[in-house]
Amino acid sequence: MDVTRRVVLQSAVAAGAATKTFAANDKVQAGFIGCGARAHELMAALGVQPGVAITKVCDAYAGRRERAQERLKGMGHMVSMTGDWQEVIGDKTLDAVVIASPDHWHKTHVVAALNAGKDVYCEKPLTYTVEDGLEILAAIKKTGKIVQVGSQGVSTETQQKAREMIQAGRLGKVTMIRAAYNRNTASGAWIYPIPPDAGPKTVDWAAFEGPAKKKHPFSLERFFRWRCYSEYSGGIATDLFVHLCTTIHFLMGAEAPRRVTAMGELYRWKESRDVPDTLNAILEYPQGFTVNLSSTFNNQSSSESNFVFLGTEGTLSLGWGEMTIAPERATEDNAWIVASWPSKLEAAYWADPKVKASERPGLAKPALAKGTESYRSTGMDATWTHFAGWLESIRTRKPHWENGERGHRAAACAHMVNRSVREGRVVEWDAAGEKMKG
């Protein structure tokens, strides 16, 4: 994500209305826990926001800390570096913390930040386990602090437009949703290049492993490619399905599925991971619709958008930054059925006024909705817009839609998928208890 003068100027104009009521020197002081590749994109998006100062960064690899300081200094931020995340939490000058650490650290970092009186932006998934989510929800309730989760798609114009259309009934009754996220490269499968200076002198292995459920000897592959290993990540489900479920919940006004079943397998990348490279899941929602989720790291071509919402009166196809809505052109045609009846009964069928009004052989039924429409996002990058929403929440104390509760439930979808794969059974959700049954 290149930070240019044009982006800075656009940012200032777009955020002007949100910052007018605050003093010029009233800046949100923010720190980062985790400075990996995604965190650097987050810095670029947050660092150009008016009314924010990024003053402290933390990472277990020295090279990332150095690059973060260099990047932020170029954006006008005076930043100190540390390899100890507790120094970020304990810094009383910080108002807020961005958490971009590996998944298995999220609960520890989020709860500690909340208890230290700091507002939080946490990259998805919010949790490594469903139980982590319950601890986070309890900390939110106790502290009253802001938590926003980083599935930024809900802050795009196209997803907001799609939500309006679905809620307005443009698709009729939506009963099925298909969502996919496919890749076919080593980097897409999280086999990232490892910095040549990485080693025991520059990488703090103990700081990385932390609360991992199983300890391993020093491993650069595990450190830099942690999404490939179940001790630190939920694989495809927590990295990609969480994005898909967040969008589906946002557009459909849903909170969590009633039950989930899934299958997954490791077909290709067998020497570099222990999580599936191909995953399929079916989620059933109490509102009366079913979701098909799929992802593979072995083929990236697809004939459809990332999301397809199938309704009785229309179809909405949603990609990253673009959307198309098309009316259903369903036609009743029972000619081939009544042609098997006695001639007199067939003639009487077509003479029936009700049949004439709704069904004429060879003639298409009029569309049930308007013609096909297409939309494309304009303006700022979704990550920038998502951060603008977080800063507004910090100032107004009004949570963003993607708050801790919704982040917990979107991540829970992934945990249900992974449990179904492991145990080979349907997994059910306990809505009252905010946890999986059993």
pLDDT per residue rounded down to tens, the chain (438 residues): 333 333 333 443 333 333 333 333 489 999 999 999 999 999 999 999 999 999 999 999 999 999 999 999 999 999 999 999 999 999 999 999 999 999 999 999 999 999 999 999 999 999 999 999 999 999 999 999 999 999 999 999 999 999 999 999 999 999 999 999 999 999 999 999 999 999 999 999 999 999 999 999 999 999 999 999 999 999 999 999 999 999 999 999 999 999 999 999 999 999 889 999 999 999 999 999 999 999 999 998 764 458 999 999 999 999 988 999 999 888 888 999 999 999 999 999 999 999 988 886 655 554 444 588 999 988 889 999 999 999 999 999 999 999 999 999 999 999 999 999 999 999 999 999 999 998
Query: Which H, E and C letters describe the chain, residue by residue?
Result: CCCCHHHHHHHHHHHHHHHCCCCCCCCEEEEEECCCHHHHHHHHHHHCCCCEEEEEEECCEHHHHHHHHHHHHHCCCCCEEECCHHHHHCCCCCCEEEECCCHHHHHHHHHHHHHCCCEEEEECCCCCCHHHHHHHHHHHHHHCCCEEEECHHHHCHHHHHHHHHHHCCCCCCEEEEEEECCCCCCCCCCCCCCCCCCCCCCECHHHHHCCCCCCCCCCHHHHHCHHHCCCCCCCHHHHHHHHHHHHHHHHHCCCCCCEEEEEEECCCCCCCCCCCCEEEEEEEECCCEEEEEEEECCCCCCCCCCEEEEECCEEEEECCCEEEEEECCCCCCCHHHHCCCCHHHHHHHHHCHHHHHHCCCCCCCCCCCCCCEEEECCCCCHHHHHHHHHHHHHHHCCCCCCCHHHHHHHHHHHHHHHHHHHHCCCEEEECCCCEECC
CA-closest candidate to residue 151, choices 248, 227, 14: 248
- Express each pLDDT in 363-380 by its tens digit: 555 444 458 899 998 888
Q: What is the pLDDT of residue 15?
A: 39
Residues of the chain with CATH 3.40.50.720: 5-154+381-401
Mind listing the pLDDT tens digit for each residue in 133-145?
999 999 999 999 9
pLDDT at residue 107, as a whole number: 98
- The answer to whether the pTM exceeds 0.85 is yes
Q: Say if CB 436 and CB 415 are below 8 A apart.
A: yes
Predicted local distance difference test score (pLDDT) of residue 281: 98
| Cis ω for the linkage preceding 125 (within 30 of 0) | yes
What is the structure's pLDDT at 360? Answer: 66
pLDDT for the residue numbered 17: 33
What share of the chain has pLDDT > 90, as a percent?
84
The CATH 3.30.360.10 domain(s) of the chain lie at 156-210+231-329+367-380+409-436
Class of domain 5-154+381-401: alpha beta
- The confidence score (pLDDT) of residue 20 equals 37
Beta-ladder partners of 265: 278
Domain 156-210+231-329+367-380+409-436, CATH class in plain words:
alpha beta
pLDDT of residue 321: 84
Of 121, 179, 90, 182, the closest CA to residue 413 belongs to 179
